[in-house]
Structure 1
Amino acid sequence: MESGTSCINVKNRLKNSLDFWKNINASKFILDLIENGYKIPLINEPESVLLRNNKSALEHKDFVEKAVQELIDASLIKEVSNRPHVVNPLTVSINSSGKGRLILDLRHVNKQVVYSKIKFEDWKTASQFLTSDCFGFAFDLKAGYHHINIFPNHQKYLGFSWKFGETVKYFVFTVLPFGLCSAGYVFTKVVRPLIAHWRKDGIKITVYLDDGLCLAETEKPCCEQSVRVKNDLILSGFVPNKDKCIWTPVQTLVWLGFTWNLKSSLMELPLIKIENFINLIDVILSKAFKVKIRLLAKLCGKIISFSPAIGNVTQIMTRCT
């Protein structure tokens, strides 16, 4: 999923920091990926196709053109003179706040990508480090996936087209796009050497994709670890998102959608989640006996997602009888 907001230039930052990755004993696979780009693991080569852009992209022409230009300016895509092997559709998604996202629809390519299983860290991992009255800091990586280059010979599978005026132009992604089904797997594999590097020194850190949370029993070591982690991220080539990072140790913060009350070792529901939940209930009640199954499924999904904060009662309350 490619945002239509300004793109920071993260291209080649990991590659330019290759010595750091060697020094933390990253595997040969990771070093090759950083140096030469990610080679998409394919079952078979995807069939060469030219797929039309989806209706949502055509309806938001100005937004698409702006987003494409931002991607060009950040060197995340490049224009090519010949039609790419696969020309994938573009889609625009508008969220509840009205923010648009430009999406590369890679369903055609994903059919031929080897499935790789990986266990993601999450709130359960972080909760193992929770102690009463502890401190923590959190970080977020700017344009996380875009730090990873795509192997040049595989960029032809990540193509798309757009008509500027009367001219059709072709582009390919040169970095890892969100639409690729193996993106989460490979990004997590890249981050893991960093996690191991920190944990061997006793740093209690959890990273889910590009969101990190570190906990320490007291404020002083938490502050020292915050400086260490921030410096290591920069040395590795990753760009922290300064607007979302919390480097100063705190005892209350929001991470992965939940409020972490570190003073009492509790995970709580943020007010916005509660308000959205109540609003959804009001919508369902207003429908009387004509409620769509989709809305009920959405309600059940929200209740289940609350389980980190309110426990297994969410399973009981959503069980079919």
Structure 2
Amino acid sequence: DCPHHRAIPAGVPLQGTELAVQTNPEAGLERLVPLVDYLAAWKLLPNVSAWVLHTVERGYHIQFGAPPPPFSGVFPTLVGPEQGLVMEQEVETLLRKEAIEVVPPQDRESGFYSRYFIVLKKDGGLRPILDLRQLNRSVMRLKFKMLTVNQVVSQIRSEDWFVTIDLKEAYFHVSILPQHRKFLRFAFRGKAYQYRVLPFGLALSPPHFHE
């Protein structure tokens, strides 16, 4: 037996896509499952750093290289009729997946707000993108280097086996530390929202998810 092999404790499901989503068959909705739901299994893995376990358990702590940006107003996302429909669908989807949450009215006048903008996809559709460029100016700059195809090919040997893993909306499985969600806010049609999970567009998302 592998010296690092351990049994997973009872009550920790590990069947296929149950790690990724929970589905409500009546409503046809999917809830992305945060990694913290499998904290017991994470603690059994060998060579997992204390930082990773802390992030899984408590949520991701945004690492600022400069003082966090101050509150500068609630800036609504302004779009045309067609783009507004796309944004409505985006917000509804993110709420269903519990990727975002509504900011309580008493907390609206704080934190940091970014705007969404709409880009044209290759297939002609529209995709909402959260513009985190201003926030990214305040976060730490971490070097992150991905393997190139040539580097991977150089390691291939005869009769090697390969496995592909497709993580759906991978960043969304990493929760954000509750105290730092206020820096990931946006406003749309009179309501304020904030991300509960690691968003796409944050400069720190790729290196820290890779870790």
TM-score tier, shorter chain, comes to 0.7 to 0.9
Question: How far is the alpha carbon of 1:17 from its aligned partner?
Answer: 1.2
Q: Any unmatched runs of 5+ in structure 1?
A: 1-5, 190-321
Question: How far is the alpha carbon of 1:16 from its aligned partner?
Answer: 1.4
The residue number in structure 1 matching 2:175 is 149
| Kept in 2: contact 1:7–1:71 (CA 8 A) | no
Q: How does 1:155-304 map to 2 (within 5 A)?
A: 155-163=181-189, 168-189=190-211
Partner Cα distance (2:204, 2:29) in 1: 22
Partner Cα distance (1:106, 1:91) in 2: 11
The SS at the match of 1:49 is: coil
The SS at the match of 2:119 is: strand
Give the TM-score normalised by the residue count of structure 1: 0.52
Partner Cα distance (2:84, 2:63) in 1: 33
> Which of 84, 89, 94 does residue 66 from structure 1 map onto?
89
The residue number in structure 2 matching 1:102 is 128
Matching residue's letter, 1:53: T
Partner Cα distance (1:74, 1:169) in 2: 18
| Kept in 1: contact 2:76–2:188 (CA 8 A) | no
Question: How far is the alpha carbon of 1:129 from its aligned partner?
Answer: 2.9
Matching residue's letter, 1:79: V
The residue number in structure 2 matching 1:75 is 98
Question: How far is the alpha carbon of 1:92 from its aligned partner?
Answer: 1.4
The residue number in structure 2 matching 1:36 is 58
> Which of 9, 16, 36 does residue 15 from structure 1 map onto?
36
| Kept in 1: contact 2:30–2:96 (CA 8 A) | no
> Which of 119, 124, 131 does residue 93 from structure 1 map onto?
119
| Kept in 1: contact 2:83–2:126 (CA 8 A) | no
Tell me the number of residue pairs that the alignment of Structure 1 and Structure 2 aligns: 178
Gap change, CA 1:63 and 1:70, over 3 Å in 2:
same
Matching residue's letter, 2:67: N
The SS at the match of 2:67 is: coil
Q: How does 1:110-149 map to 2 (within 5 A)?
A: 110-132=136-158, 134-149=160-175
The SS at the match of 1:138 is: coil
Partner Cα distance (1:180, 1:38) in 2: 12
Gap change, CA 1:162 and 1:52, over 3 Å in 2:
closer
Identity of aligned residues (%): 28
Q: Deviation per CA, 1:144-176, whole angstroms, max 9, x where unpaired?
A: 11011100000000000011xxxx000000001
Q: Deviation per CA, 1:196-244, whole angstroms, max 9, x where unpaired?
A: xxxxxxxxxxxxxxxxxxxxxxxxxxxxxxxxxxxxxxxxxxxxxxxxx
The SS at the match of 1:33 is: helix
